Amino acid sequence: MTIVDLLERNSREHGNNTALVEIDPETSDNRRHTWRDYELVEPTRRSYYRAEITWAVFNEKANRFANALINLGIGKGDKVAILLMNCLEWLPIYFGILKTGAMAVPLNFRYASDEIKYCVDLAEADMLVFGPEFIGRVEKIAEEISKNRLLIYVGDGCPTFAENYYSLTADSSSLNPEIPLTEDDYAAIYFSSGTTGFPKAILHKHRSLIHSCRVEQNHHSQTSDDVFLCIPPLYHTGAKMHWFGSLISCSKAVLLKGTKPEFILDAASKEKCTIVWLLVPWAQDILNALDSGKLKLEDYDLSSWRLMHIGAQPVPQSLIKHWLEYFPNHQYDTNYGLSESIGPGAVHLGVENVHKVGAIGIPGYGWQVKIVDENDNEVTGQNVGELCVKGDGVMECYYRDPEATAKSLKDGWLYTGDMAMRDEDGFIYLVDRKKDVIIMGGENLYPVQIEDFIRTCNKVSDVAVIGLPDERLGEIAAAIIKIKDGMTATEEEINEFCLGLPRYKRPRKIIFADVPRNPTGKIEKPLLRKIYGADHLIADQNAR
């Protein structure tokens, strides 16, 4: 079975049920008139757009795109890149590609023109599907990349260098093209976060995708009555693999554009959402808005909301403790995974283990886990080592990069690059990224531990700890701190607060600034090191 079979089943057995809802609180519906066959709700509100499609329409649109692609010569072994913001077309296009037997290649919407070209070249994509937000970026490279691939545009005002998606699909058959697929067929190429230069291409088979469906439903018990609020970008495995829980359970999902606290609570209230996946910054923003009185819970009907879960980064214990003060009836889970392990679920806390908040949890459904030292020996007790995972969701390889593949895949085990430890009950805690560990005077410092402590300061909104070069110690810890709106803090106050840390863990530098995060909520530490590293090293040397 593949995820394509699940879509066919949902269309056949529950075709009239709502599959997807798109909400854009800041966009008027009159800018989206090409979606004339979707059900528009509240069309008179100038600043609110809502549309939805059923499972039958979802499947029909996937079939139409698949048949259009086949007519253009796309089939097994080919690759089609997707560069779209979250929208109702996104998933039908993704499934249309898979129905041809080709591979889908989702691209990060933040990519600049050179990154887009790099990724479509690395993946050897035969086609690029893009939306209106990317016309300028694609136009810069259109002459180069269109020499050996077709460009398909999804939206109004099709540029001259591309073909129009709606025109291509209008006359295509709505019937399933019936291309035989198995779990051993290649399905998708995803890209790593690119924290060390340009991203790596990650090749997955259909086995990985269907495995993630089963993992998600096993962890969170989705039924056809659930409603999943999806906020992160669909190009990322995290958002899509959580949505796979909706696919396998044939339940509704809501694609929300915008991350403001009022948008999230409003969508959860109006759509009767039962499951909401948040990133740490969004959860913290909601708490800040409730604490300040900007938002009031009594203004929303959140009685349907049963599960809040967070992934993509370590979760501070203080955040969840605070969350449960406002939402005492919520189940809570955290999920750990990588694009190389088809997103979340390789390790998860489990809703029954809220007393272990702070841990990423135990091996997920169908997953094995081990923690090893630098000699590949499993560590004992509560010693720190590299986290490794094994299961049907592990990637096939880094596409066209055998050297990187050999470093990360050994005997079926994926070496994650994350440093972790187990407690006496077998729960796994992330200590830090292997590349982010700070070595100060021969002592290992794990930034996540320092960040978790500083976040407990009631004036701190966000924090990132990085290593900066130091002539005497090799590296020192620097804390980049964002203070909550309406508050002020001094370096002396933060240093005094950090007296609660062991002396060697205390940051040697305090920097008040924004903490940049990527679309999946991860702190962009390479960017911070680039911004602050050289300047502070020079300043240190001049001061001596």
Distance CA 175, CA 177 (A): 6
Write out the residue limits of the CATH 3.40.50.12780 domain(s) in the chain.
3-230
Q: 211-269 pLDDT, tens per residue? A: 999 999 999 999 999 999 999 899 988 889 999 999 999 999 999 999 999 999 999 99
Q: Name residue 29's amino acid.
A: D
Confidence band, pLDDT 50/70/90 cuts, at residue 525:
confident
Contacts 24+ apart (CB under 8 A), 6-11: 6/210, 6/213, 6/247, 6/248, 7/55, 7/58, 7/59, 7/62, 7/95, 7/247, 8/59, 8/176, 9/250, 10/55, 10/58, 10/59, 10/247, 10/250, 11/55, 11/56, 11/58, 11/59, 11/60
Confidence band, pLDDT 50/70/90 cuts, at residue 209:
very high
Q: 387-398 pLDDT, tens per residue? A: 999 999 999 999
pLDDT at 297: 97
Q: Name residue 243's amino acid.
A: W
Domain 438-543 CATH assignment equals 2.40.100.10: no
pLDDT at 128: 98
Give the pLDDT mean for 407-423: 93
pLDDT at 449: 82
3-class SS shares of the chain: helix, strand, coil, % to 5: 35, 25, 35
Q: 419-446 pLDDT, tens per residue? A: 899 999 999 998 767 778 787 865 678 7
Question: What tokens were used for 368?
Answer: 């094995």
Give the pLDDT mean for 507-525: 85
Strand partners of residue 425? none
Question: What tokens were used for 364?
Answer: 């997920």
Share of the chain above pLDDT 90, in %: 69
Higher pLDDT, 532 or 470: 532
Write out the residue limits of the CATH 3.30.300.30 domain(s) in the chain.
438-543
Query: Which CATH code is given to the segment(s) 3-230?
Result: 3.40.50.12780
Residues 6 or more apart whose Cβ sits within 8 Å of residue 135: 153, 159
Confidence band, pLDDT 50/70/90 cuts, at residue 492:
very high
Pairing of strands 49-54, 39-40: antiparallel
Pairing of strands 49-54, 18-24: antiparallel
Distance CA 15, CA 11 (A): 4
DSSP 3-state of 234: coil
What number of other Cβ atoms are within 10 A of residue 535's Cβ?
11
Question: What tokens were used for 104?
Answer: 């889908």
Burial 84-97 (b: 16+ CB within 10 A, else e): bbbbbbbbbbbbbb
Residue 270, Cβ density class (10 Å: 0-12 exposed, 13-18 middle, ≥19 buried): middle
Q: How many helices (H) and strands (E) does the chain have?
A: 15, 28
Handedness of CA 469, 473, 474, 480 (dihedral sign): negative
DSSP 3-state of 469: strand
Distance CA 19, CA 429 (A): 36
Q: 126-142 pLDDT, tens per residue? A: 999 999 999 999 999 99
Please state which of the ranges 182-191, 193-202, 251-260, 301-310 shows the lowest mean pLDDT.
Answer: 193-202
Share of the chain above pLDDT 70, in %: 91
DSSP 3-state of 336: strand
Distance CA 325, CA 318 (A): 11
Rounded to 5 degrees, φ, ψ at 358 are: 115, -35
Give the pLDDT mean for 297-307: 97
Q: 325-376 pLDDT, tens per residue? A: 999 999 999 988 889 999 889 999 999 998 998 899 999 999 999 999 989 9
Q: 430: which DSSP letter? A: E
Question: What tokens were used for 120?
Answer: 């479509």
Radius of gyration (C-alpha) of the chain in whole angstroms:
24
pLDDT at 504: 80
281 vs 215, 313, 332, CA distance in Å?
Answer: 25, 10, 16
Confidence band, pLDDT 50/70/90 cuts, at residue 42:
very low
pLDDT at 47: 56
Average pLDDT value over all residues in the chain: 89
Contacts 24+ apart (CB under 8 A), 12-15: 13/250, 14/55, 14/224, 14/250, 15/54, 15/55, 15/56, 15/59
